[in-house]
Amino acid sequence: MRDFIIPDDAYVPASTADMGTPPSRATTTVTLTVDGMPVTVPSGTSVMRAAAEAGIAIPKLCATDSMAAIGSCRLCLVEVEGMRGTPASCTTPVAEGMVVHTESELIRKLRRGVMELYVSDHPRDLLTSPANGLDEVQDMAAAVGLREVRYTPGENHVAPCMANGEANPRFREPDRSNPYFTYDPALCIVCMRCVRACDEIQGTFALTVQGRGFESRIVAGQDQPFLNSDCVSCGACVQACPTGSLLENSVAEIGVPERTVITTCAYCGVGCNFEAQMRGDQVVRMVPWKHGKANHGHSCVKGRFAWGYANHGERILSPMVREKITDPWRETTWEEAITFAADRLKAIQQEHGIDSVGVITSSRCTNEETYLVQKLARAVLRTNNTDTCARVCHSPTGYGLKTTFGTSAGTHDFDSVDFCDVALVIGANPTDAHPVFASRLRKRLREGAKLIVVDPRRIDLLETPHLGEAHHLSIKPGTNVAVLTAMAHVIVTEGLVSTEFIRERCDWDEYLDYAEFLSDPRHSPEATEAATGVPPEALRAAARLYATGGNGAIYYGLGVTEHAQGSTAVMAIANLAMLTGNIGKPGTGVNPLRGQNNVQGSCDMGSFPHELPGYRHITDPVARDIYERAWGVPVPEEPGLRIPNMFDAAVAGAFRGLYCQGEDILQSDPDSSHVAAALSAMDCVIVQDLFLNETATYAHVFLPGSTFLEKDGTFTNAERRINPVRKVMAPKNGYGDWEITQLLANALGAGWSYTHPSQIMDEIAATTPSFAGVSFDLLDAVGSVQWPCNEDAPLGTPMMHGTGFVRGKGKFVHTEYVASDERTGPRFPLLLTTGRILSQYNVGAQTRRTANTVWHDEDLLEIHPHDAEERGIRSGDWVRLASRAGATTLRALVTARVAPGVVYTTFHHPTTQANVVTTDSSDWATNCPEYKVTAVQVMPSNGPSEWQEDYAERAEASRRVLPLEAAE
Amino acid sequence: MSGGDAKLVRMANQIATFFETQPGIDPAAATAAHLNDFWPPPMRARLLEMIAEGGTGLRPAAAGAAPLIRRPGEAPVHAVPVDPGVPPVRAGEEAAPANPAFQSEGGSDG
């Protein structure tokens, strides 16, 4: 926090201009003249970009500033004094004293000749084409002053029929296989922008140019429909296409957008900035913002395309109540619903005590909304019974990194990946769960960085095209600590530690103590192999590479945290970074990849029952005093119930009222039967959500929530970046979520009077030192900031622990491997681990209500061929998946991606309910559930499990709604 | 033992197991500090009752934590030390870890 690096790509809100070629990173500058104007630019800049800097737009078709120039379209020709011919300005670097002319009689003639050829094989009449207004061929024809086309109609790719009336063999019907965009080959000019975007930006290499010369055309995969190819529908090609040949279907349906609002994606923890391109109050398309500091103009299929759930027919727009969960829902007014909820909470507290109620804040809502929900618990309900779904994903990150480094957050920004030499990816699947980060990492891997993956499953990152050296440590689920400690053993015993770093930044005696612990032969890879399943030589090679391969960056996910030893594994990771000095400089660090958009923020905002905003412990009288003065009420000093504790207390009858905002605990939390029993035991469950989610099956009050398009606020991504969320349309349900919480608080006597989320952020800034400098005005001015943002770091802190750890000296915590209680035996001989898939998000409430279901319409159980054969299971068969907690059925996918003895599934679909099977085993420090390890048995099946049948019946009964009129 | 009690024993034992592996600390004291920091009063109260009843199934560090576990309503056992001269809004953004087992000797300058 003491040193920070001011981001180099300065924010220019108005600048959406395409500069033609990417910026140069050089620090030396060159001065040239363009059309008589002197321009100074970094050396290595193209002539095209230098001209753009001077305000001169050189005509172009194949060049764009998001990818390297190839000089193919020959439209950007210029004259340079002293140079022969007419070089392409996109591929010509500037030189000192260069004199450039962008217009001359010769250049005009050449450009018209080029345009004439393009236009000869391009549709002339776009009046009723979806590409009308977007086709740069038209713009360039105008720019170069093309007035006539001398070529008579002949062979072309444009017309369905030839002059003689026969079908044109070169013409191809548009490819409409992708649900979100259409490829119309007639409009294509083969500029290769799409191919380069797929290769350079996304890294999938799904597109190519087939044929040569006049026969060349863009194809997906082996000339397949887009949907059947390797295409992951990230949309980079659509964004790159200059002609509208690749175009969003929404543009065809609605028309060309007329205004743009910069906002932030509401899916994963990468936190991509988007331009919401609007027509009236209708979103036409979401285009990743080129100045977005997490995504730099890239996105994935979810963020770019899967926002249609906001208008889905199943969205609930009217508040609803019911006396009992067996009653049908009754639509009602906001006033009645809020009064109903408040009265019930008050009655419960009167009868059963202050601590008989609690709240769950949402990692999908904004910081401001989360702050208000925990404030509602602490200041209005007067209890610390507040928790957030971060409990069930990254709470061990908070505990582990705070203990070792002193701060509960990742250390680096995503830009740092450009400087890493070795990426150690542990328990994360970035290509599916954090796709934009994965693309940035893949770019670095193509540049030669080396990869180490620690995962029970062979993740797609290992299939990166042009991947160089890569190691896969395929571990048995639940043995992370043994593997990480064994890596540290190798580093210490082979003398690969960075003694200089440790002497300066850590406690030397503590290190010696830890080194002695590590050196014990029981931690050697040879000794741990029996438990971990990792061959010792593979582990040694990986450890050596991480320690000696240059800048080593660790990226980890829920495969680390969601274990009985999750917190210990996080500390083992921190230890590895400190032992090797891989922290405090670009390209290194310990970087948790957060699952949901605002997991970091919901933790920052004091959602946990033991912490006030800014991670200040609830027993800290100084911190409590700040809030007691701000809120004017005493703040309770005892830690409250965590989510699993709430369920246990509910089953025991002590916890009876819950306000749950934007989280589907029934589907997402482990041991669904236990969660259902807990929810059924409560007197009042208030669910605030977009849809009647699974939790709402057990709710008494349903408060319709708003989407990220309908409110102002901020999300904080995995790199601590506070990103603005901006309202682009009025909330269809009538209120932003922060307003609903305020209504409920005021019905409970709070007397709040916020009129805009910026006021809530002002309160956060005034009370939380790490947010002291944050305001909506600052975000409007600079785009986004990374906390800590305060007097010492007015523009935020991209990299933490630069010269010293927040806690002072880095702390080596001993990391003894303890086998999980959740282990295989004769009844449950396999280990189940869970994860995500690219096209779906979390419980699927949003993505299942979009066309993303074409890629994944059910959860499948991945099982190794050996285990499948033993059980007589083939791909596509229905199988029963059972654990000590429960059983479900789903279809099998036989694949060697999982190791023998391991099965894997996703949890996106409520009909599968993978969490019926997961158990109550949890992390020792934080109660984060051990989702990643469940002992199971798999057997062929021909029907749904008992739970699935009962649940389907109950869910259907529970979703009956009596409309408002009928209730009167 | 009821399911809830068995779960408390398992969780307390998990915590004790961790602190038993840490050097130079009293595992019982660290376990107590962790419980005071993270367990709500009803869970601590039930654990204390179970320890008083003999602590069946609890590891030594968990059972031995009893004297240092904060009884609901008592003053905090391990309050974060506060310097009266420090202004309410501190320069660093985070308090030190509350568990003394993790407080560094050199003190935090964050």
Domain ranges for chain B:
3-68
Percent of chain A exceeding pLDDT 70 equals 98
With bands split at pLDDT 50, 70 and 90, how would you rate the model's confidence at B1? low
pLDDT at B79: 42
With bands split at pLDDT 50, 70 and 90, how would you rate the model's confidence at A907? confident
Angle at A594 between CA A592 and CA A596, to 5 degrees: 180
DSSP letters along B13-65, please? HHHHHHHHTSTTS-HHHHHHHHHHHHS-HHHHHHHHHHHHTT-TT--HHHHTT
**What residue of A is the nearest CA neighbor of B97?**
A403
DSSP state of A859: -
Residue type, A726: R
With bands split at pLDDT 50, 70 and 90, how would you rate the model's confidence at B91? very low
pLDDT at A803: 87
Is the separation of the CB atoms in A769 and A614 below 8 Å?
yes
pLDDT at B76: 59
Cα(A13)–Cα(A125) distance, rounded to whole angstroms? 35
Residues A866-893, buried b or exposed e (16+ Cβ, 10 A)? ebbeebebeeebebbbbbbbbbbbbbbb
Cα(A716)–Cα(A615) distance, rounded to whole angstroms? 15
Neighbour tally for A20: CB within 10 Å: 22
Structure token digits, residue A16? 């959406």
The pLDDT tens digits of the residues spanning A10-24 come to: 444 446 789 999 999
pLDDT at A614: 93
Whether B103 has a pLDDT exceeding 60, the answer reads no
Is the separation of the CB atoms in A77 and A9 below 8 Å?
no
Q: Rounded to whole angstroms, what are the CA distances from A623 to A23, A612, A752, A866? A: 45, 7, 21, 57
CB-based contact, A773 to chain B, within 8 Å: no
Mutation for testing the A interface, residue in B21, B22, B31, B38 having most A CBs under 10 Å? B38
CB-based contact, B102 to chain A, within 8 Å: yes
With bands split at pLDDT 50, 70 and 90, how would you rate the model's confidence at A2? very low
Whether A676 has a pLDDT exceeding 70, the answer reads yes
Chain B closest-CA separation from residue A418 CA (Å): 28
Domains and CATH numbers, chain A: 29-143 (3.10.20.740), 257-307 (2.20.25.90), 336-393+598-781 (3.40.50.740), 408-592 (3.40.228.10), 830-957 (2.40.40.20)
Cα(A202)–Cα(A419) distance, rounded to whole angstroms? 18
Chain A closest-CA separation from residue B100 CA (Å): 11
Structure token digits, residue A813? 């915590």
Three-class DSSP category at A940: strand
With bands split at pLDDT 50, 70 and 90, how would you rate the model's confidence at B64? very high
Q: Is the dihedral of CA A64, A67, A72, A74 positive or negative?
A: positive
Cα(A748)–Cα(A751) distance, rounded to whole angstroms? 9
pLDDT at A7: 42
Helix runs in A200-256, H state only: 236-240, 249-254
Cis peptide bond N-terminal to A7, omega within 30: no
Whether A656 has a pLDDT exceeding 70, the answer reads yes
- List residues bridging with A287 in a β-sheet: A275
Contact between chains at A406 and B106 (C-beta distance less than 8 A): no
Q: Tell me the three-class secondary structure of A489-545, residue by residue.
A: HHHHHCCCCCHHHHHHHECHHHHHHHHHHHHCHHHCHHHHHHHHCCCHHHHHHHHHH
**What residue of B is the nearest CA neighbor of A2?**
B110
**What residue of B is the nearest CA neighbor of A620?**
B80
ipTM of the complex: 0.90
The pLDDT tens digits of the residues spanning A578-602 come to: 999 999 999 999 999 988 999 999 9
Structure token digits, residue A808? 């002072």
A positions 792-821 inside 8 Å of B (CB): 804-809, 811, 813-814, 816, 818, 821
Helix runs in A580-642, H state only: 599-604, 621-631
A-B C-beta contacts closer than 8 Å: 148
pLDDT at B83: 32
The pLDDT tens digits of the residues spanning A107-163 come to: 999 999 999 999 999 998 888 999 998 999 999 999 999 998 998 888 899 999 988
Picking from A737, A707, A740, A729, the residue whose alpha carbon sits closest to that of residue A310 is A707
**What residue of B is the nearest CA neighbor of A787?**
B93
Whether A965 has a pLDDT exceeding 70, the answer reads no
Is the separation of the CB atoms in A399 and A615 below 8 Å?
no
Percent of chain A exceeding pLDDT 90 equals 84
Whether A537 has a pLDDT exceeding 70, the answer reads yes
CB-based contact, A625 to chain B, within 8 Å: yes
Picking from A160, A157, A161, A159, the residue whose alpha carbon sits closest to that of residue A170 is A157
Query: What is the enclosing helix (H) or strand (E) of A284?
Result: strand A282-288
Chain B residues whose CB is inside 8 A of the A768 CB are: 93
Contact between chains at B94 and A615 (C-beta distance less than 8 A): yes
User: What does pLDDT average to over chain A?
Assistant: 93
